Structure 1
Amino acid sequence: MDYHVHSTYSLDSHMSMEAACLQAIEAGLKEIAFTDHIDIDWPDKTIPPFDIRMLDSYFEDIEKMQNMFKGQLVIKKGIEIGLQPHILDECASIVNSYPFDFVIASVHLVGGVDPYWGVFYQGKTKEESYKEYYEEILKLIKSFNEFNVLGHLDYIKRYSPFPVEKTDHLLCTSLVDEILQTLISKGKGLEVNTSGYRHASEAPMPHPDIIARYRELGGRIITLGSDAHTPEHVAFKFETALQEIKRSGFDTLTSFTGMQPEFVAIT
C-alpha cells in the first residue's frame, strides 16, 4: 500500500491520477491513497492555492479512477493537510466536510517560513533549527485532532543546509518522544515516508530508530508512503522500508476507510 501519492492536483506534482494508478499496478501494489496538498494561507502568493472548491472535482476524479481500476487497485480518498496555528479550525472544517478515507497532517511552515527556504536556518545551529521545527509539530498535534497520521516527522532534514550526520535523528530526543507519546495518546499514527531514501541521509522519514521508539512507546498505527510526485517514485524503496518497519517491531501496516484504521499483516 502506498499511502502518500500526489497527482497534478498538487502544484508540485507532474503525475496524473491515471499514471499513478498504472504505476502502482506495475509495482505490484494492492492499494494507494491519493494525498494531494491543502496548504491554507501559503505565504508565497505567486503560487496558486489549493482551493477548497477544487475538492469536489478532486473527489470526482478519484471516483473515476476507482471505477477505471476496479478489481485491479483499491484507491482511497486522502489529503495531506498542512497545519499552522491560525488555521486549525479551517483545517478541521475541511476534513469534516468531505468523505475522506485518510488524512495526513504535515507541518511545512514554522512561523510562516518553510524549512525549504534557507532563511529558516539563519542565526541557528542545527540543533536549534530542529528544536524549533519539532516544537511547532508538538504544539500543532496537541491542538488538532482531525487526522490519521503525522507526515514525514523529520521533514526538516530534507532541506537542512547543515552537513548530514548519522546522528541527526538523535537531535532533540526528548521532544521527539513527546511527539510520539502525543500521537499514541490521541490514537494517531506515524507515517514512514520513503522519500528520505532519495536524500543524502539514505534513510526514511522518520529514521528507523524513531520508528522503533514509536513502537517501544506503544505505537501501533503506521502507514507507508512514497510521497511520489512522479511515476518512478511510486512505491519507491518499499522493500527496504518494509524490512526496517519489521525490524522496528511491527508486523502490520495500517489502511484506512472513512478515516477508520484496519491492520494489514506484513507478509
Structure 2
Amino acid sequence: MDYHIHSTYSLDSRMSMEAACLHAIEAGLQEIAFTDHIDIDWPDNSIPPFDIKTLDRYFEDIEKMQDMFKGQLMIKKGIEIGLQPHILNECTDIIKAYPFDFVIASVHIVGGVDPYLGVFYQGKTKEESYRQYYEEVLKLVKSYDDFNVLGHLDYIKRYSPFPVEETDHLLCTPLVDEILKTLISKGKGLEVNTSGYRHASGSPMPHPDIIARYRRLGGKILTLGSDAHAPEHVAFRFETALMEIKRSGFDTLTSFTSMQPEFVAIP
C-alpha cells in the first residue's frame, strides 16, 4: 500500500492520477490513497493555495480511477491537510463535508513560516529550530482530532540548513515522545514517509528509532507512504522501509476505509 500520493491536484505535483495508478500496479502495489494537499491560509502569496472548490471534481476523478482500475488496484479517497492553530475549525468543516477514507494531518507551517524557507532558521541553533517545530506539532495534535495519521513527523529535517548528523533523530526526544503518546492516547497513527530516503540523512520520516519508540509506547497504527509527486517515486524504497518497520517491532500496516482502520499483515 502507498498511502501518500499527490496528483496534479497538488500544485507541486506533475503526476496525473492515471499515471500514479499505472506505476502503482507496475510496482506491485495492491492499494493506494490519493492524498492531495489542502493548506488553508498558506503564507506565501506567490503560490496559489489549494482551491477547496475543486474537491467535488477531485472526488469525481478518484471515482473515475476506481472504475478504470477496478480489479487491479484498490484506490482510496484521501487528503493531506496542513494544520495551523487558527484554522482547525475550517479543517474540520472540510473533513466532515466529504466522504474521505483517509486523512493525513501534516504541519507545514510554524508561526506563519514554512521550514522550507531559510528565514525559519535565522537566529536559531539546530536544536532550537527542531524544538520550535516539535512544540507546534504537539500543540496541534493535542488540539485536533479529525485525522487518521500524523504525516512525516520529523519533516523539519527535510529542509534544515544545518549539517546532517546521525544523532539528529535524538533531538528533543522528550517532546517527540510526548507527540507519540498523544497520538496513541487519541487512537491516531503515524506515517512512515519514504521521501526521507531521498534526503541526505538516508532515512525515512520519521527515523526508524522514532518508529520503534512509537511501538514500545504502545503505538499500533502505521501507514506507509512515498509522498510521490512524480511517477518514479511511487512506492519509493518500500522494500527498505518494510525491513525497517519490521525491525521496529511491527508486523502489520494499516489501511483505511471511511476513516476506519484495518490491520494488514506485512508479507
Deviations 1:122-170 (A, max 9, x none): 0000000000000000000100000000000000000000000000000
- Is residue 209 of structure 1 aligned with residue 209 of structure 2? yes
- What SS class does the counterpart of residue 36 from structure 1 fall into? strand
Identical counterparts, % of pairs? 85
Distance in 1 (CA, whole Å) between partners of 2:250 and 2:47 is 40
**TM-score scaled to structure 2, two decimals?**
1.00
Query: Cα deviation per residue 1:54-90 (whole Å; 9 max; x = unaligned)?
Result: 0000000000000000000000000000000000000
Match of 1:172?
Answer: 172
Are residues 1:91 and 2:91 paired?
yes
Aligned positions of 1:104-123 closer than 5 A: 104-123=104-123
For these two proteins, the number of residue pairs brought into alignment is 267
Q: State the distance in 2 between where 1:112 and 1:71 align.
A: 44
Q: CA RMSD in A?
A: 0.4
User: Structure 1 residue runs of 4+, over 6 Å off?
Assistant: none
TM-aligned CA deviation for residue 46 of structure 1: 2.1
CA distance in 2, matches of 1:48, 1:162: 29
Tell me by how many angstroms 1:252 deviates. Answer: 0.2
**Matches of 1:78 and 1:9 in 2, distance apart?**
12
Matching residue of 2:59: 59
Tell me, in whole angstroms, the C-alpha distance in 1 between the residues paired with 2:48 and 2:57: 17
Q: Does residue 219 of structure 1 match 2:219?
A: yes
Structure 2 equivalent of residue 259 of structure 1: 259
C-alpha distance in structure 2 between counterparts of 1:141 and 1:163, whole Å: 28
Question: Once the two structures are superposed, what CA deviation does each residue of 1:91-128 show, in whole Å capped at 9, x if it has no partner?
Answer: 01100110000000000000110000000000000000
Give the corresponding residue for 2:77: 77
- Letter of the aligned partner of 2:118 in structure 1? G
Match in the other structure for 1:157: 157
TM-score normalised by length of structure 1: 1.00
* Residues in 2 aligned to 1:70 and 1:85: alpha-carbon distance in whole angstroms: 39
The one-letter code matched in structure 2 to 1:147 is F
Q: Could you say what secondary structure the match of 2:184 adopts?
A: helix
1:171 is displaced (CA, Å) by 0.1
Aligned letter for 2:87? I
Runs of at least 5 residues in structure 1 that lack an aligned partner in the other structure: none
